Each structure stands twice: as structure tokens, then as C-alpha cells.
Amino acid sequence: MRTALLQMNPVVGDCARNAATIVAAAEEAKRCGASLLLTPEMSLTGSPTEDLLLRPGFLPPVDATLAQIAAVRGITVVVGFPEHDGRHYFNAAGVWRDGERIAVYRKNTISPQQEWNEARYFTAGERACVFAHEGVKYGVLFDADLGNVAAVAQARADGAQALLVLAASPFYAGKHDERLAAARAAQHGLPLLYVNAAGGQDAWVFDGASFALDAQGRRTFQAAFCEEGLSWVDAAAGQQSFSGSLNVLPEATAQLYHAVLCGLRDYVRKCGFSRLCLGLSGGLDSALVLALAVDAVGAEHCEVLLMPSQYTAELSNTAAVKMAENLGVRYESVPISDVFGAFKSALANRFSGLAEDVTEENLQARIRGTLLMALSNKSGALLLSTGNKSEVAMGYSTLYGDMNGGFAPLKDLYKTEVYAISRWLNATRGREIIPQEIIDRPPSAELRANQTDQDSLPEYAVLDEMLRLLMDENLSAQALIERGFAAAEVARTVKLLRLAEYKRQQGAIGPKVSRCAFDVDWRQPICQRFGHD
């Protein structure tokens, strides 16, 4: 008996397209000898639908396209979809065979603590779902149900001999190991087949990596990372165990790169863009963003501006040119010194007698941001912001300047991760993608003479570890001090993290790749006087 798994990359709200993908997969699965097709959670509508679900016109296309899936003959198809009983919405999985819906499961585990607050939309189901297929009784569950002892126990009590788990489980570093652990803890001696979505949706990245476990919890099938498509598992007739290919997942640094790339590529595609642009400074962050942009849409669809000022080192100019030429990207140098002088002249009377300070530094960033937005408007290219998580956390950026852009690929990558990914990229591509001088030089915004990031921030290795403890582990300032961090550095980091909230809430979104990402997990008031940490 052969079962097909569709690691699907749905488009939210495009039920016709998504249904066509499922129907085509079912036909291909039949040609390859499969009698069962398993699709991810909310595969028909994409996920998360958020408040689209509440729009009056959202559900009729769901019903219409479910009829298309029901029309498939010769294969059993399991599809995730939103169901409405006239009063309540349910996150459901339907089982169709030869025109008949033979079973439906309503997700039992709905919690406001889940990634997109399903409790705002869905009511929890109360029953298990077990259906028979070729001599085996399958229990249907969703990923969140694996932590619900009652949901799994009820499926087993109703006769389940194997578990089919539908997921739209977003990625963060270490998430796959957590899924495996949760599945092993929940299976209670039953073989388990888990199918996950693959693709980007706004800030979310669904990494696929579907898998199967035998009754002893051993992995017998592993699908690819961040790749959509059909996979296969086989079992002897009447047996409930699964076996298939065991893809090797990328190592941790590679996972981060591919997850960010997946998020960027799908944001561009699903929002209807075809071109990307950014400012290339000769620094590491913009270099890595350019590498991602080229991998996402191709060098011929990317364009960069070099915007040197009187504070820009010659190394920055030559390194930026080298980076663009390494990747075959069109570039143009637009010096900003004259524009900067004109702005200062315009404000000369008002600023008379006042020393230059961060005002003039921000003015340069805003000139660059304006030029980049002009390029974006004229060319129709999506402008990419280049700030990393360390800078975003500390507010080391300029509103309406270097924060300009429609998508921020590095927003959830710490500076230390940017370094690690850049070194990995060069090591694995067989040639120098990012010039080594960019990796080796001290990071600088170059908004004043001899400036470096560490004039304003702790060393990135120290800063990033403090931020991980404060955000991912939700530790207090005192806990950091007890772990050996300098009290003054902790106090400064906590203060800057709090003060930069107003900037973050006006910035571009970026792909979530950590446990606690600013766009979706970190929710803080801007106006607040919490006086502890």
C-alpha cells in the first residue's frame, strides 16, 4: 500500500489554485500507485487566514472547491479546510473517497497561545476521527493535538492502528526536533505519519520536513526541508507501518539561510513582485541580503545603489562593487554628499550655533532611504531593508532611512548569525560570494568619521547572547547579571530594547526563524513604565 504526502505551499485565500494543486497531486499519486493522499492543515485555504475567515465571501469558494476534490475518483484524499456549521468555525480535516466525505475531524486543541491565536476564530472539536482504509484504521489529528493526551487517547480508544497528523507548523531554529519529540511522546505505540506545509506566508516560514515514525518511535521516512512536492511512503497490505526515503536535513546554519530564502521568495511571488532592489553599503548585512535576493529572483531581476558620503571609506566602495560584480547584479553609484549639504543649508538658520550630532547622522540615512524608495517606485522593485535582529532590538537604525523597505530578510537573524551564514555561504558555494574583506572588517554605519557599531553597542557576541536570554528565555536583568554579564551592559541593553519598540512597530516585516521574533512573538506596549526589566 502506497501513501502520498503533499508538502504543499498554498496561497492564502486562493481556494481555486489550492484545490487544483490538490487534485493534480491526487492524479499524480494515483499514477504512481498510491491509494491515499495526505495534505497539510488548512491546505485548501492556506494558513493563517486570520480575519479573512470572517469575511462574508470567504466560505462559498471553500465549499465550491471541496466539490472539485470530492470529484476525484480512485484515491482517498485527506484535506485540511475551515468548516462552518452555521454558528461556529472549525479547523477541520475531511476524508473524501469516490465522491463521498467518509469522515471529518475537527481540531480538538485550540489555544490562544498558539502561533496565530486560533481561539479568536475556531471552536474546538470534541470527538476523535478514525476511518478504515485498505484494512487499517487511521486516526486523524492535527499537530497541536499531539500535546493533548485526551485527543490521542480517544483516537486509540476508537480503534486507531496508526495516526495521520496534519500540520501547518512554522519554522524556528530547533523546531523539527521539537516536533519529533512531541510525536514520539504522543504516539503510544502507534505508527505515525506527519505532513507539514512548505513555503512562506508573510512573516511565517513553513519548512515541510514531514516524517513517519514506526510503532517504536524510530524515524522511517523524512521529507525534504523547505521544499514543496509529493513524497511517498509504503507499507505491506493490511500493515500500518510506514517506510520511505530518509532525506538528510540541512545543518543548523544552512536551515536558517534556506528558511529566510523561502520566506523572501514566497513573499515576492505571492505579493506579485518580480524585481528586488536595495542599498549596498560595503557592509555585511547588505551583502548577505543581496545574496539572498539573487537566490530568490535571479541576478537579472536585482538592482542596487551605492550611496557614498564623505564618511564612506574607500574599502566600502570597492567591496560593494566587488560584491555586485561577484553576483552579476546591476549597480549604480549615487553620491549623497551634495544632497546632504543642501539639506544642511536648508536648515542652517534653525540649526545655527548647534553642534552636529545624531541629527546629521540620521539625515544621511534618510537621504539614502528616499533615494531607494524612489528607485523602488520607478522600477516597481520591492525594496529590501537590510537591518539584522541585533540592530532592530537596540534601535540601531533610522526611521524613514535604512529602515525603509517592504521586507526585511535579516530581521530575525542576530548579527552573529549573519556572520555564520556568510561564512557558510562562501564555504559551500565553491567560490567567494561575499568578499572576505566585508566579513573581516569592523561593522560600521559610516555616518561620522571613524565610526564603528561598538561605539554604541556591546560586542555582538555578548549582545546577542543577552538578547537571546531576555527574549527567547524571558529572563530578567538580574538573572543575566547572575550569569556573569556586566550590570552596566545589561542595564543599557534592557533600556535600549524597551526604547526601540516604537521603531520596530513601524518597520518592515521579515521571516520568523527564531523562537521569539519581533513581528509575531514579541508584543510590547510602546508607552509603558514597567520599572523592573
pLDDT tens-digit profile, the chain (533 residues): 899 999 999 999 999 999 999 999 999 999 999 999 999 999 999 999 999 999 999 999 999 999 999 999 999 999 999 999 999 999 999 999 999 999 999 999 997 666 778 999 999 999 999 999 998 999 999 999 999 999 999 999 999 999 999 999 999 999 999 999 999 999 989 999 999 999 999 999 999 999 999 999 999 999 999 999 999 999 876 566 788 899 999 999 999 999 999 999 999 999 999 999 999 999 999 999 999 999 999 999 999 999 999 888 888 899 999 999 999 999 999 999 999 999 999 999 999 999 999 999 999 999 999 999 999 999 999 999 999 999 999 999 999 999 999 999 999 999 999 999 999 999 999 899 999 999 998 776 656 666 666 767 889 999 999 999 999 999 999 999 999 999 999 999 999 999 999 999 999 999 999 999 998 899 898 988 876 56
pLDDT score, position 1: 84
Q: Give the residue carrying C-alpha cell 486523524.
A: 140
Cell of 387: 537591518
Please tell me what DSSP assigns to residue 231: E
First and final CA of the chain: distance in angstroms? 57
β-pair type (276-279, 382-383):
parallel
Q: Taken in order 61, 66, 67, 68, is the CA torsion positive or negative?
A: positive
Q: Taken in order 386, 388, 392, 398, is the CA torsion positive or negative?
A: negative
Distance of CA 294 to the CA centre of its chain: 18
* Whole-prediction pTM: 0.94
pLDDT score, position 312: 83
- A 10 A CB-CB count for 21 gives 20
DSSP-H helix ranges across 93-190: 149-157, 175-186
